[in-house]
Amino acid sequence: MRQNVYFTAALIIGIIIVINLLSNEFHLRIDLTRDRQYTLSKATENVVRDLEVPVTIKAYYSEDLPPYVMKARKDFHELLIEYANASDGKVLYEFINPSEDEKYETEALNYGIRPILIDIREKDQVKQQKAFLGAVALLGDKQETIPLLQPGAAMEYGLTTAIRKISLTNKPSIGFLQGHGEPSLQEMIELNEQLEILYNTEPIYLSDSLPIDSGIKVLAVVRPMDSIPQSDLDRLDEFVARGGRLLVAINTVDGDLRSLYGYPVTTGLENWLLKSGILVDLSFVIDASCGSVMVPQQLGQYTLETKVSFPFIPIIKTFNDHPVTAGLDALMFQFASTINFIGDSTIEFTPLAFTSDRSNSLRAPQQFDIQRTWTRADFPRQKLLVAAAIEKQSTNAKMVVISDGDFIINGPPQQARRLQADNLSFFYNAIDWLSDDTGLVSLRTKAVTSYPIDELDDNVKTILKYVNFSLPLILVIGYGLFRSHRNRIRKFQRMSENYDKE
């Protein structure tokens, strides 16, 4: 019996070793994560399968770093194996340790990969060590650098985007309507820089006699301030009728913080949207979840700037489950309006973003009272719609409508302001979705996510605690009972055999 136990144990250990060797050789693994974090998306598979010539990925990763950094290196290495397998060998890769040789460090620097300082704890001391954590994609004389691959970052998005950028021969074109008080591309500098990675961006001026160029994949209409002539609206009708894609960020209200006055804005675009069943009210959305404005306050002979909450700058944190809103945390709008759908069943309407549970809508015009003390009674409504998508099955047309035209504008270069990070992602996601892109929209926020136990419900934590404590004991006791039962059966069988012989 003892020999059988030893043999069984050795056999199990041998099987485990063989399985590990085979999985390492053939890269077999099962992704049991909730968000399929370690499984390549269809978007990535499409990009790498379309490669006509090989792409080389050089990963410059330092070694002898803290475990959490080395885990990121291991994750990236396994990701590259997945890319190589999915591309039938068209994605080649190598890992280089720049600390090994000065020429490798120089090579990394020439590619635009800069070292960072990482805290390393040794005994009772903390020291900083220079480390490279970047990569570069190479195809012929083209290159695209990923300067930093941080632990937990959306590695797949960065890598797929880099491969797609250097392998694209013809970028899709995104048009931005001009001629009616819209901001120029220079006034949307952050957005333009992001879009130019995968798209061509160009200003579009409408003509009475010529239709919108069929090469325009998506037409963006951002904050027109002047009246749009009927002839231009007719061009938009033609564009939608042939299955065009539109992104409309419209102001039906606006405000001046110097005069503290808010007023309605009419350009004709709001009436044009009614034909698609979209009603953007001439109203101001206010929200208890809001941004702030700086207000001067006189303290003696000094004037100090103080932040004051301003409900006319709603912070949007409630989103529908949709590719356009994937991974967003919070948008910051300014003088937004409510959106209502009044169309029929021929139009598929999808709400995208809502105000909080404490909000309201005030008709324009409005006089702003910066010093006003807002109470709960001022916000009796909840989840007012501020962004939506529609699809027309008959023409295959798509449209995203956002009831704030300023949320993506930096302003003139000399007065440019930084955007809320998710404002940029929201607009970019909408462009990707409208253009039926390869699905990169779903990768932008895909990262290796941890789920701390402190964030779980108390009941779930209690269950996990007792399962974690009791399961090993149950397995050991169960195995013991099984062995005991099996031994009793064997003993009974041997006794029966001896009895029969007698």
- 191-228: pLDDT as tens digits: 998 888 889 999 999 987 789 998 999 999 999 999 99
pLDDT of residue 310: 95
| Amino acid identity for residue 300 in this structure | G
Q: Please check the confidence at residue 445 and state whether its pLDDT lies above 70.
A: no
The residues spanned by each domain of the chain are 1-30, 41-167, 173-434, 453-490
Q: Please check the confidence at residue 438 and state whether its pLDDT lies above 60.
A: no
Q: Which of 250-254, 307-311, 458-462 has the highest mean pLDDT?
A: 250-254
Q: Check residue 447 and report its DSSP letter.
A: -
Residues in the chain: 502
Q: Please check the confidence at residue 400 and state whether its pLDDT lies above 90.
A: yes
> Same CATH topology for 41-167 and 173-434?
no
Provide the terminal-to-terminal Cα distance of the chain, rounded to the nearest Å: 25
Q: Please check the confidence at residue 383 and state whether its pLDDT lies above 80.
A: yes
27 Rama class: left (phi>0) / alpha (psi -120 to 50) / beta: left
CATH class of 41-167: alpha beta
Place 394 in a pLDDT band, splitting at 50, 70 and 90: confident
Q: What share of the chain is helix, strand, coil (3-state, %, to 5)?
A: 35, 30, 35
pLDDT of residue 123: 67
Place 455 in a pLDDT band, splitting at 50, 70 and 90: low
Contacts of 284 (CB under 8 A, 6+ apart): 253, 255, 262, 312, 335, 336, 337, 361, 362, 363, 364, 366
Place 59 in a pLDDT band, splitting at 50, 70 and 90: very high
Tell me the pTM. Answer: 0.72
Q: What angle do the packed helices 67-86 and 42-49 form, to 10 degrees?
A: 60
Q: Please check the confidence at residue 112 and state whether its pLDDT lies above 60.
A: yes
> What's the mean pLDDT in 259-279?
95
Place 397 in a pLDDT band, splitting at 50, 70 and 90: very high
Mean pLDDT taken over the chain: 86
Structural element, H or E, at residue 240: helix 230-241
Q: Please check the confidence at residue 35 and state whether its pLDDT lies above 60.
A: no
CA distance 83 to 159: 10
Place 305 in a pLDDT band, splitting at 50, 70 and 90: confident
Q: Residue 321 has which token pair?
A: 């489950």
93-98-104 Cα angle (round to 5): 80
Please give the CATH number for the structural domain made up of 173-434: 3.40.50.880
> What's the mean pLDDT in 243-247?
96
* Edge-to-edge strand list for the sheet holding 261-264: 253-256, 261-264, 366-367
Strands, DSSP E only, in 250-375? 253-256, 261-264, 278-280, 283-287, 290-299, 302-316, 318-319, 331-332, 339-341, 347-354, 359-363, 366-367
Q: Please check the confidence at residue 448 and state whether its pLDDT lies above 50.
A: no
